[in-house]
Structure 1
Amino acid sequence: MSTKRQFPRPHDILPLIRFKKPDFNAKRRRLNAALTIADLRAIAKQRTPRAAFDYTEGAAEGELSLARARQAFEDVEFHPAILRDVSKVDTGWDVLGKRSALPFGIAPTGFTRMMHTEGETAGAGAAAAAGIPFALSTMGTTPIEEVAAVGGPEGRHWFQLYMWKDRDRSMALVERAAAAGFDTLLVTVDVPVAGARLRDKRNGFAIPPAITARTFFDMARKPHWWFDMLTTEPLSFASLNRWSGTVAELLDTMFDPTVDYADLAWIKEQWPGKLVVKGVQTVADAKACADLGVDAVTLSNHGGRQLDRAPVPFHLLPRVVKEVGEDIEVHLDTGIMSGADVVASVALGARYTMIGRAYLYGLMAGGRDGVDRTIAILREEVERTMRLLGVAALEELEPGHVTQLQRLVPRVA
């Protein structure tokens, strides 16, 4: 039987025609078009000079640790329950004694104004608006007091500490953070020396950025970035004197490779708030930190930027939770690029997760608005994943919701 055809009639066509109202704000238009963190990354790469983008993107040596961390999240299999009431979803709970509206927050990142001139103020403001913690790095480019002021009384501020060879200067920063109202000290313990970040060496990455023949050519392709950089406050460390060498040279010059558990105990005595140890990569070290009386450990291999081929934090998570989860909180860092990654981490026992690169991609893509978009994307993904799992609250997530599919299995001798 042949299909009967007719000429299209206007009254049938008109309801199908829906023109979008044009948006003449270019930044808002490109951010609204970003539906994933990968979309924000693509925008960031277009708008940021190579050296700054590679500093964010890169990891140590062959970058295997970072690739494996991301692969671990891709190798998650979810197990949803059906016929559950998920009309309302609660994405928040207490983290270190205070409510966080989401089970993630912004990780400490160094040299942040290199990515965008708004730097840490964009991150702190966006985090405060979203009701999540913001961590300021020792290597930050915005003063401690300014970050506290931007976040306001509602902001949740953590200070990340690298112990320097000059202990007095290190603890002076800790005292400033306490005086400014920071409630948590995040002691990073996986940087006795700098990792071999080869992208930075090849790019000649330095603070402040040097204008060479190569960067001059880059200026022509990224004029907006250079205009912002050259017409705002000169880039420098908020907590240090100016430095004119490479990042690796700075780390090796300043950081103390002798720090041990006795030093951690001493830091704990000095700090009045919550204490988190970031950079834990074995069950034994997690237990030792718990025995010392810290409030939480963060499983992290520094985003793959220190020891390449380091353990994958997400793989380590269930064993650490089993060992110390009843005594202290277990947090997770490294490789998180979606809300589904966050949900999988919580299901396996993480109380809190941190986003670093995802935050910086948003920052590079659009300053404060870009960070807001990062958080919005992750929030939507967390909510949607929970609903599809049949879960209405974070407390309902449990290991049965997740299987870690295996690729890297230890070889039996």
Structure 2
Amino acid sequence: MMVRRQLPQPAELAELLRFRRPQLDARRRRLDAALTIHDLRTVARRRTPRAAFDYTDGAAEEEISLLRARRAFQQIEFHPGILRDVSDVDTTQTIFGGPSSMPFGIAPTGFTRLMQTEGELAGASAAGAAGIPFTLSTLGTSTIESVAAANPAGRNWFQLYMMRERDISYDLVERAARAGFDTLMFTVDTPVAGARLRDKRNGFSIPPQLTASTVLDALPRPWWWIDLLTTPKLEFASLTSTGGTVGQLLDSAMDPTVSPADLGAIRDMWPGHLVVKGVQTLADATMLVDHGVDGIVLSNHGGRQLDRAPVPFRLLPTVAREVGAHTEIAVDTGIMHGADIVASIALGADFTLIGRAYLYGLMAGGRAGVDRAIEILSDEIRRTMKLLGARNLGELESRHVSVLAATGDAAAASGAAAR
């Protein structure tokens, strides 16, 4: 039977020819076009000089730990339930004594204004607007007090490196408490700095120096250097009064003598929740519970310290089963999608932290880019929960997730390193 043809009707053509109003704001246009965190990474790479981008994007040595972490999330298999009313889902979580609108917060990242000049203030204000926690690093480029001012009604956490000169760390703890930060992350996975080979190959230095190669790399991205050279000096903002060069302060933050006695000293000083970040074995998780910490973060520092370290997501089910009833557990490293967060909650995590995902947004568009990263992950979480048939985070269980066997990680990592 032949389809009867006719001339198009003007009214029908009018419906087809409804054009969207053009977006004249270039930043808004590129952020609206980014549908995933990987899209934001692509924009960030295009807009940021190579050395600064690689400082964020890279990891230690052959970058096997980071590759394995992302591969582990890719090997998730979900098992959805059906015939559930999921017209509305509740994504709120109580973590470390307070609320979060989503089961993720912003992880501590050092030297953040290197990536984009708004730095931690963009992250803190975006987190506050979204109702999620923000964590400031000891090696942050905005002060404790300025972050508190940028996020006055939100939850601010402080990540602590135990400095060789202990009084420096003690002063930071006291300042964070006075500024109203409610959680302290005592970081334990940095006795020495990891070997970040991308930085060495790029001739990268902190602070960045103008060389022939950096000038050539900057030519297509003049806005980055204009921002760097016309805004306040790039430095470890909370440590400026302690003296020493940036390099000396960075070296001082890596102390191989940190011990349980230091953890006890901080516990005695800190009035809020004390969380230990950088836990990579069940034995250490159990030991910390015995020390009475309020929470742990399963983390291999985003793969930036010990390459071939355990993948936190793979360690999670065992730790959650053994100590989850006695402490709160957060997990980081490799999270690039809301489904990664949903799977982590299902396998026993109480919370997750995002680092690179937030920084890709920052590099792509400053504060608006961080907003977009949070929006993307939040939408993915809600959609994944609805498709799984889970109406709230408490309904996410291990029955919803299988993790398929990993194959070929080492070979793939070698290929990635070669590229």
* TM-score normalised by structure 1 residue count: 0.96
Q: Kindly state the Cα deviation for residue 325 of structure 1 after the two structures are TM-superposed.
A: 0.3
Q: Kindly state the Cα deviation for residue 6 of structure 1 after the two structures are TM-superposed.
A: 3.5
Mapped pair 1:17 → 2:27: no
Is 2:236–2:246's contact at 8 Å kept on the other side of the alignment? no
Superposed CA deviations along residues 333-388 of structure 1, whole A, max 9, x for unmatched, are 10000100000000011011000000000000010000000100010000000000
Is 1:208–1:244's contact at 8 Å kept on the other side of the alignment? no
Map 1:93-242 onto structure 2 (within 5 A).
Answer: 93-152=93-152, 154-241=153-240
Q: Kindly state the Cα deviation for residue 244 of structure 1 after the two structures are TM-superposed.
A: 5.9
Map 1:272-311 onto structure 2 (within 5 A).
Answer: 272-311=271-310
Superposed CA deviations along residues 23-81 of structure 1, whole A, max 9, x for unmatched, are 11111111111110011101101111111100000000000000000000000000100
Q: Alpha carbons of 1:408 and 1:288: their partners in 2 closer, same or farther (altered >3 Å)?
A: farther
How many residues in Structure 1 have an aligned counterpart in Structure 2? 406
Amino acid of the residue matched to residue 132 of structure 2?
A: I
Is 1:206–1:245's contact at 8 Å kept on the other side of the alignment? no
Mapped pair 1:325 → 2:324: yes
Amino acid of the residue matched to residue 8 of structure 2?
A: P
Superposed CA deviations along residues 239-290 of structure 1, whole A, max 9, x for unmatched, are 23477676xx754444210112222122211111100100000000000000
Alpha-carbon distance in 2 for matches of 1:274, 1:205: 36
Alpha-carbon distance in 2 for matches of 1:110, 1:53: 14
Amino acid of the residue matched to residue 308 of structure 1?
A: D
Helix, strand or coil at the partner of 2:278 = strand
Alpha-carbon distance in 2 for matches of 1:355, 1:93: 16
Alpha-carbon distance in 2 for matches of 1:97, 1:273: 9
Mapped pair 1:92 → 2:92: yes
Residue 387 of structure 2 is matched in structure 1 by 388
Alpha-carbon distance in 1 for matches of 2:37, 2:206: 27
Residue 67 of structure 1 is matched in structure 2 by 67
Residue 373 of structure 1 is matched in structure 2 by 372
Alpha-carbon distance in 1 for matches of 2:2, 2:269: 86
Map 1:238-249 onto structure 2 (within 5 A).
Answer: 238-241=237-240
Is 1:116–1:363's contact at 8 Å kept on the other side of the alignment? yes
Is 1:69–1:314's contact at 8 Å kept on the other side of the alignment? yes
Superposed CA deviations along residues 5-29 of structure 1, whole A, max 9, x for unmatched, are 3443433322112201011111111
Alpha-carbon distance in 1 for matches of 2:327, 2:109: 24
Is 1:95–1:352's contact at 8 Å kept on the other side of the alignment? yes
Residue 353 of structure 1 is matched in structure 2 by 352
Q: Alpha carbons of 1:354 and 1:267: their partners in 2 closer, same or farther (altered >3 Å)?
A: same
Superposed CA deviations along residues 76-119 of structure 1, whole A, max 9, x for unmatched, are 00010001011111100211121110000000000000011100
Superposed CA deviations along residues 211-239 of structure 1, whole A, max 9, x for unmatched, are 00011112211111111111111111112
Superposed CA deviations along residues 317-343 of structure 1, whole A, max 9, x for unmatched, are 000001110010011010000100000
Between 1:286-295 and 1:223-232, the stretch displaced more is 223-232
Amino acid of the residue matched to residue 49 of structure 2?
A: P
Residue 414 of structure 2 is matched in structure 1 by none
Amino acid of the residue matched to residue 379 of structure 2?
A: E
Helix, strand or coil at the partner of 1:353 = strand
Mapped pair 1:403 → 2:402: yes
Residue 8 of structure 2 is matched in structure 1 by 8
Helix, strand or coil at the partner of 1:240 = helix
Q: Alpha carbons of 1:24 and 1:141: their partners in 2 closer, same or farther (altered >3 Å)?
A: same
Amino acid of the residue matched to residue 315 of structure 2?
A: L
Helix, strand or coil at the partner of 1:135 = strand
Q: Kindly state the Cα deviation for residue 312 of structure 1 after the two structures are TM-superposed.
A: 0.5
Identity over the aligned pairs, expressed in percent?
A: 64
Q: Alpha carbons of 1:198 and 1:243: their partners in 2 closer, same or farther (altered >3 Å)?
A: farther
Is 1:208–1:243's contact at 8 Å kept on the other side of the alignment? no
Is 1:193–1:251's contact at 8 Å kept on the other side of the alignment? no
Alpha-carbon distance in 1 for matches of 2:123, 2:244: 24
Alpha-carbon distance in 2 for matches of 1:29, 1:316: 40
Is 2:235–2:246's contact at 8 Å kept on the other side of the alignment? no
Amino acid of the residue matched to residue 118 of structure 1?
A: E
Between 1:60-69 and 1:204-213, the stretch displaced more is 204-213
Is 1:102–1:379's contact at 8 Å kept on the other side of the alignment? yes
Is 1:294–1:328's contact at 8 Å kept on the other side of the alignment? yes
Between 1:305-314 and 1:259-268, the stretch displaced more is 259-268
Amino acid of the residue matched to residue 398 of structure 1?
A: E
Amino acid of the residue matched to residue 366 of structure 2?
A: G
Q: Alpha carbons of 1:243 and 1:376: their partners in 2 closer, same or farther (altered >3 Å)?
A: farther
Residue 46 of structure 2 is matched in structure 1 by 46
Alpha-carbon distance in 1 for matches of 2:404, 2:250: 37
Q: Kindly state the Cα deviation for residue 203 of structure 1 after the two structures are TM-superposed.
A: 1.5
Is 1:90–1:393's contact at 8 Å kept on the other side of the alignment? yes
Alpha-carbon distance in 1 for matches of 2:137, 2:203: 22
Residue 416 of structure 2 is matched in structure 1 by none
Residue 57 of structure 1 is matched in structure 2 by 57
Amino acid of the residue matched to residue 135 of structure 1?
A: T
Unaligned regions of 5+ residues in structure 1, if any?
none
Amino acid of the residue matched to residue 77 of structure 1?
A: E
Alpha-carbon distance in 2 for matches of 1:294, 1:244: 33
Is 1:194–1:251's contact at 8 Å kept on the other side of the alignment? no
